[in-house]
C-alpha cells in the first residue's frame, strides 16, 4: 500500500519481517499488511524485510521522509525480542535518519511476550490455527518455534507454551527447528511415550517456509495428529499488531 498524504493525521505503519528466501513468507507478510490496513482505514500500512526480500526498512523510511512524512511507527513482526529486535531494527532506523529529510520513528514491542506478559490475542491466534488443523481436544501440544541461542528469548517461548497449555487444558512442551533442542519429532515422541495419544503441534511461526515445512514432516513422522499452519494474517494477530501500535503510538489511532 502506498503511504497516504502527509498531514492526514495518520502516521504510516511499517511492518518489518525477518525475511526468507521462500516467496511464501513475503506473501504472508503482505497479507498481514493488507489485513492491518483493512482494520485501520486511512492509515498507510507498508511491509518491509530485514533480509532476502526488498524493500528493507531503511529504504521505506527514507521514502516516507522524502514524501514529507515527519513520523512513522515501526512494528517488528517478531515473536521474540532477540538479536533482530535489539540490533538489526535499531540499525535500520539509525541508517534512515543519517541522511535525507528527518523522520521520527516509534518502534513498538515485538508480537511475542513483553516482560512476563503474553497477550491473550497471541494465544487465541495459536488456538485458532490448531482448531483449523484438527478440531477437538488434544492430550498434549508441542509449541514449535524457529529457534534461537538467546536464553531470554527461549524463556519467552516457554512462557507462551505454558500459557497456551493453560488455555487449552493440555500438557504443552516447546520444540525448536534450529539452534536449540529438542526437535519437534523428539518432543512429540517423548509425549507419546508418556501416554499421550492425541499430540498436536502449534506453529509459533508468522509465515510459511522451510522451517515450518520441516516441522510438519518431522511431527507427522513422530505421530502428531495435527500440525497447525503459521499465524500469517489471523484476525487475532491483526488485533495484536494494532494493540502494539496503540500502546506506544496512540496518535496513530
Q: Beta 45-49 vs 140-145: how paired, if at all?
A: unpaired
User: What would the grid cell of residue 153 be?
Assistant: 528469548
Complete DSSP assignment for 64-87: HHHTT--EEEEEE--SS-SHIIII
pLDDT score at 252: 44
CA 127/CA 116 separation, integer angstroms: 20
Which domains occur in the chain, in start order?
Answer: 13-112+234-252 (3.40.50.1400), 120-227 (3.40.50.1400)
CA 88/CA 199 separation, integer angstroms: 36
pLDDT digits 0-9 by tens, 126-178: 999 999 999 999 999 999 999 888 899 999 999 999 999 999 999 999 999 99
pLDDT score at 84: 76
The partner residues of 143 in beta bridges, in order of sequence, read 174, 202
Phi, psi of 110 (to 5 degrees): -65, 175
pLDDT digits 0-9 by tens, 215-247: 999 999 999 999 999 999 999 999 999 999 998
Sheet strands (E) in 132-238: 140-145, 171-176, 199-204, 226-227
Of 118, 115, 110, 212, which is closest to residue 161 (Cα–Cα)? Answer: 118
Of 84, 88, 226, which is closest to residue 144 (Cα–Cα)? Answer: 226
Overall pTM > 0.75? yes
Residue 59's Cβ-count burial label (10 Å; 0-12, 13-18, 19+) is: middle
pLDDT score at 1: 45
pLDDT score at 3: 55
Of 6, 81, 17, which is closest to residue 47 (Cα–Cα)? Answer: 17
pLDDT score at 86: 78
Q: Taking a C-beta distance cutoff of 8 angstroms, is the pair 252, 245 a contact? A: yes
pLDDT at 79 over 50: yes
pLDDT score at 99: 82
Amino acid at each position: 500500500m502506498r503511504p497516504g498524504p502527509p498531514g492526514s493525521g495518520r502516521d504510516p505503519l511499517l511492518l518489518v519481517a525477518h525475511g526468507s528466501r521462500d516467496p511464501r513468507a513475503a506473501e504472508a507478510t503482505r497479507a498481514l499488511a493488507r489485513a492491518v490496513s483493512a482494520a485501520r482505514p486511512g492509515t498507510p500500512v507498508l511491509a518491509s524485510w530485514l533480509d532476502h526480500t526488498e524493500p528493507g526498512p531503511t529504504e521505506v523510511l527514507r521514502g516516507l521522509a522524502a514524501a514529507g512524512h515527519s513520523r512513522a511507527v515501526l512494528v517488528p513482526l517478531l515473536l521474540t525480542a532477540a538479536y533482530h529486535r535489539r540490533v538489526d531494527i535499531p540499525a535500520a532506523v539509525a541508517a534512515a535518519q543519517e541522511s535525507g529529510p528527518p523522520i521520527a520513528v516509534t518502534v513498538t514491542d515485538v508480537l511475542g511476550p513483553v516482560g512476563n506478559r503474553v497477550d491473550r490475542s497471541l494465544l487465541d491466534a495459536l488456538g485458532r490455527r490448531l482448531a483449523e488443523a484438527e478440531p477437538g481436544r488434544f492430550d498434549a501440544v508441542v509449541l514449535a518455534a524457529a529457534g534461537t541461542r538467546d536464553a531470554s528469548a527461549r524463556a519467552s517461548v516457554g512462557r507462551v507454551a505454558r500459557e497456551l497449555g493453560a488455555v487449552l487444558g493440555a500438557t504443552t512442551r516447546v520444540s525448536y527447528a534450529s539452534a536449540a533442542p529438542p526437535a519437534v519429532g523428539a518432543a512429540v515422541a517423548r509425549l507419546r511415550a508418556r501416554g499421550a495419544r492425541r499430540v498436536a503441534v502449534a506453529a509459533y511461526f508468522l509465515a510459511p517456509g522451510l522451517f515450518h515445512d520441516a516441522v510438519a514432516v518431522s511431527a507427522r513422522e513422530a505421530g502428531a495428529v495435527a500440525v497447525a499452519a503459521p499465524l500469517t494474517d489471523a484476525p487475532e494477530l491483526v488485533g495484536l499488531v494494532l494493540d502494539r501500535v496503540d500502546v506506544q503510538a496512540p496518535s496513530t489511532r
